[in-house]
Amino acid sequence: MIVRNLHKWIKTDRKGKRYSGYGEILSKLLKRAVKENIPAVLLMDKIREGAAKRIPPQRLITAVKNELTRLKTAKAIVYRQNIKPENEDQYANRLKHISILLLGGIKDKTITGLFNLMAETKRTADDILAACDVLVEFNSINLLAQDDLYGVGKALLFSRLKASTFSGISSIYLNARAKRIKTEDILTIIKNTLTNGGGIIQLDQEISNRGRHR
Amino acid sequence: MIFNSCRRYRKSFYLSIIILLLISFPLFSEFSFDAGTQVISAIPRYDLSGSNIWLEMSWADSYYFSESLSYFIDSALRTGYTPLMQNFEGIATCNNYLSFRKNSFLARLGISGYYDLTIGSDYTSPVWQINTDVFISYGNYQFSVYINPGLSLLQNELNRTLNFNLQAGAVYALFGQILIKPGISAEIPAEQTNGEVPGISPFLNLSWYTGIPLTLKSKINYRVNFPADQNNFVLTWIPEATLLLRRGITATVRSKAEYKTYQTSTLSDGSTAYLYDPAFKLSPELLSDFSLTDTITLHAKATLGWTHYYNTETDDITAGLSLDIEIEF
């Protein structure tokens, strides 16, 4: 069905026609996803996204292959951690979410390590993913080692903060960097403050007296 | 003759200390080196006398004795050279903070100081200041109150002044992202020899740590100088936004708007002098940081300053640009 949709899209859609010579390769990738029990619609979304950005065919194929690799890793994490939702849409969303984390530079072992803390921290799978989202934001500000990312994620999960408020921590990290506080120091401040039961107020207090020059 | 000789020795002494510090700074582990230039000019006149090139050696380090007890030190030596090398400017600073945080309680002792020496063609003028304060805060991750008393001792060329400062306030976290920070601060000089006057400042600061790499801040401060009357105040508003442009590149846009009426000071003979005239000042700034590598960062700062003096109906406009490269070791 999804393969048929792909061919139809390539034939009829103005953006799809650009990839008319590559239908077979793309359909093979979709079939492989179906065989792996990965919702092929996720790859189809990637193809449409690439077409909208007018990405050249060869680059699109590489991007779809990479996405398939990430989705396979995401599926392995979901099954290994026993966090597969019953609903198929939710399952697809979860795979897509983890794939975005992997794309954002969070490695399999870091995500798995944080999921391993689920029982101990009494957090849900969505909470773990919210903590991982913050790590992606940290990585978008500057690349960090996986151990550092894991340390921040762990501190978030053990903190008193609700998962819905995790995202503010990435802005604090950015602000601290703009104040020229050293990366290592910021990470230690975040970890120690959260571990001590503090939140955004206490982080703000810690950072406000350190920034030099500004 | 003897006086000139002393001055020459003092100059040599200061330069020796600076050279010694410059050599010894790299021995510290968290050392960074910063070199930059600052160009400031009046508009429409062209006057670069405030411009300089400068070098800075700094050392910042943190010690975590436990999850509760930590010590932070930040010291720097900055030297500046004005055009034609007529003046040598040097500022040494050192900030020390000892913090104890346990659950809802935070106590922090701060001792900081600076020593400013400028060696010109015909003068040497050291000025130093020492500040000490205690920050005590109690609260949880949603609400906190604090009190921050402090003392500062300033020595300038003629006088020594002791100031007592007190700040108290509360912080409330809204939606886990917005901090509302009302408070009040007071400044009481022990003597008014340098023109300092007592003042009290209610303020309201807001910080919004948005869920994306963007921070928005606003600081509003209303200072009433004493003896108070209806026309003796300073109103300041500083909005600020910090955002991530792309990985390794951050930008901060900040603007300071200040309206002040006059400020008087009682001189030793009992007469009253005006320290400044009523004025409105607006100074926007754009600061950018470019992380070239893990250890090298380029900092750029563009500033604009406009001051309007109401008494004389005159305006001062300045523009500045500074660039510096920071290398961390």
Q: Are residues A77 and A141 in the same domain?
A: no
What is the Cα–Cα distance from A110 to B249, expressed in whole angstroms? 26
Burial of A110 (0-12, 13-18, 19+ CB in 10 A): buried
Q: Are residues A61 and A149 in the same domain?
A: no
- Give yes or no for residue B230 having a pLDDT over 60: no
pLDDT confidence band for B235 (50 / 70 / 90): very high
Q: Are residues A128 and A174 in the same domain?
A: yes
pLDDT score, position B4: 47
Give the residue, B322 or B19, on which the prediction is more confident. B322
CB atoms within 10 A of CB B279: 20
Judged by CB atoms closer than 8 Å, whether chains meet at B248 and A142 is answered as: yes
What is the Cα–Cα distance from B61 to B152, expressed in whole angstroms? 24
Least confident span in A86-95, B22-31, B250-259, B293-302 = B22-31
pLDDT score, position A209: 72
Tens of pLDDT, residue by residue over A128-179, are 999 999 999 999 998 999 999 999 999 999 999 999 999 999 999 999 988 8
Q: Are residues A47 and A112 in the same domain?
A: no
Instruction: Establish if A199 touches chain B: CB-CB under 8 angstroms.
Output: yes
Judged by CB atoms closer than 8 Å, whether chains meet at B60 and A185 is answered as: yes
Domain boundary among A76, A103, A130: A103
ipTM, 2 dp? 0.85
Q: Give Dmax over CA atoms of chain B in angstroms.
A: 70
pLDDT score, position A50: 92
- Nearest-by-CA chain A residue for B58: A212
Q: Are residues A113 and A149 in the same domain?
A: yes
CB-nearest partner of B247 from A140, A171, A192: A140
Instruction: Establish if B319 touches chain A: CB-CB under 8 angstroms.
Output: no
Q: Are residues A140 and A63 in the same domain?
A: no
Q: Are residues A76 and A93 in the same domain?
A: yes
Q: Are residues A91 and A24 in the same domain?
A: yes
Q: Are residues A135 and A201 in the same domain?
A: yes
Long-range contacts from B192-196, C-beta under 8 angstroms, 24+ separation = B192/B265, B192/B266, B193/B159, B193/B160, B193/B161, B193/B268, B194/B154, B194/B156, B194/B159, B194/B161, B195/B263, B195/B265, B195/B273, B195/B275, B196/B161, B196/B163
B307–chain A nearest CA distance, Å: 22
Tens of pLDDT, residue by residue over B58-115, are 888 888 888 789 898 888 888 887 765 567 778 889 999 999 988 788 999 999 998 8
Q: Are residues A41 and A63 in the same domain?
A: yes
Chain A residues touching B215 at Cβ < 8 A: 171-172, 174-175, 178
Range of the domain at A85: 1-103
Tens of pLDDT, residue by residue over B164-220, are 999 999 999 998 899 999 999 999 988 766 667 789 999 999 999 998 889 999 999
Could you say which residues from 82 to 141 on chain A have a Cβ atom under 8 Å away from some Cβ of chain B? 137, 140-141
Q: Are residues A65 and A133 in the same domain?
A: no
- Give yes or no for residue B312 having a pLDDT over 70: yes
What is the Cα–Cα distance from A209 to B98, expressed in whole angstroms? 11
Domain boundary among A103, A136, A157: A103
Average model confidence (pLDDT) across chain B:
83
What is the Cα–Cα distance from A123 to B241, expressed in whole angstroms? 33
Most A CBs within 10 A among B209, B219, B289, hence the mutation to make, goes to: B209
| Total of domains in chain A | 2
**Which of A18-27, B117-126, B241-250 has maximum average pLDDT?**
B241-250
Give the residue, B35 or B216, on which the prediction is more confident. B216
Q: Are residues A68 and A157 in the same domain?
A: no
Instruction: Establish if B132 touches chain A: CB-CB under 8 angstroms.
Output: no
Domain boundary among A103, A134, A149: A103
Chain A residues touching B60 at Cβ < 8 A: 182, 185, 212
pLDDT score, position A5: 84
